[in-house]
Homo-oligomer: A and B are copies of this chain.
């Protein structure tokens, strides 16, 4: 079954963009009468039939609608320092989308080697994973933000920070209230600084450990994502 991501779907008749129309007709060789699936990224899952297979404007008719498709029982926001090698962050975005995540913020830290990211390209990777793993919800990717500014933003859920320095740390498992909202901060290759950790503590962000292994940034972020999804199964 072919899936299209259609965030602007509002009526029962929908027209694919020129790029998507070309893909549908020239690559997928879809024809009038063929069935496809549309997901709007906000929980809507639509079964539709092709009315006209036009490589510029392919028209579709929705014949079945499901809202809150695959709705998860919790909300997960991961703020992660972009990796020096951007492919590692891209890999995290793809895998987290498959496993289940709601919001991602690229977090610029004191020791970040990479201070900027192109969210447009990263969003395309997320959209592609949304389609591949048939998700009706599209994770939100925020613009990059500095650590100091970010930790002061309000968040009405549990807030955690994973770091590798010594000190009292609990596991997520010990801390977590099930079916809740969670924010997890993951630092850069050189870890958070003690000043950043102090600032996190001052903003009621609790230090956690992700187990005994020394993990790369993107692996730690994915481990947090896995663990929170697992504990909410």
Contacts and interface: CB of A to CB of B under 8 A. Distances in A.
A226 interface: yes
A98 B219 contact: yes
A17 interface: no
Interface of A: 70, 91, 95, 98-100, 132-135, 171, 173, 211-216, 219, 222-223, 226-227, 229-230, 233
A134 to B, nearest CB: 6
A211 B173 CA distance: 18
Given A98-B219, A134-B214, A214-B133, A230 B229 contact: no
Nearest to A231: B230
Contacts of A227: 226, 230
Contact of A230 (B95, B219, B230): B230
Nearest to A95: B219
Contacts of A212: 70
A213 B132 contact: no
25 contacts: A70-B212, A91-B91, A95-B222, A98-B213, A98-B214, A98-B216, A98-B219, A99-B211, A99-B213, A99-B223, A100-B213, A132-B214, A132-B216, A133-B213, A133-B214, A133-B216, A173-B233, A211-B229, A211-B230, A211-B233, A222-B222, A226-B227, A226-B230, A227-B230, A230-B230
Counting every copy of the chain, the complex holds: 2
A93 to B, nearest CB: 12
Nearest to A70: B212
A222 B218 CA distance: 13
A216 B95 CA distance: 9
Nearest first, the 7 A-B pairs at minimum CB distance are A226-B226, A133-B214, A98-B219, A98-B215, A95-B219, A134-B214, A98-B213
Given A99-B223, A134-B214, 5 more contacts: A98-B214, A99-B213, A132-B214, A133-B213, A226-B230
Contacts of A214: 98, 132-134
B134 A219 contact: no
B134 A215 contact: no
Contacts of A171: 233
Nearest to A97: B213
Contacts of A219: 95, 98-99
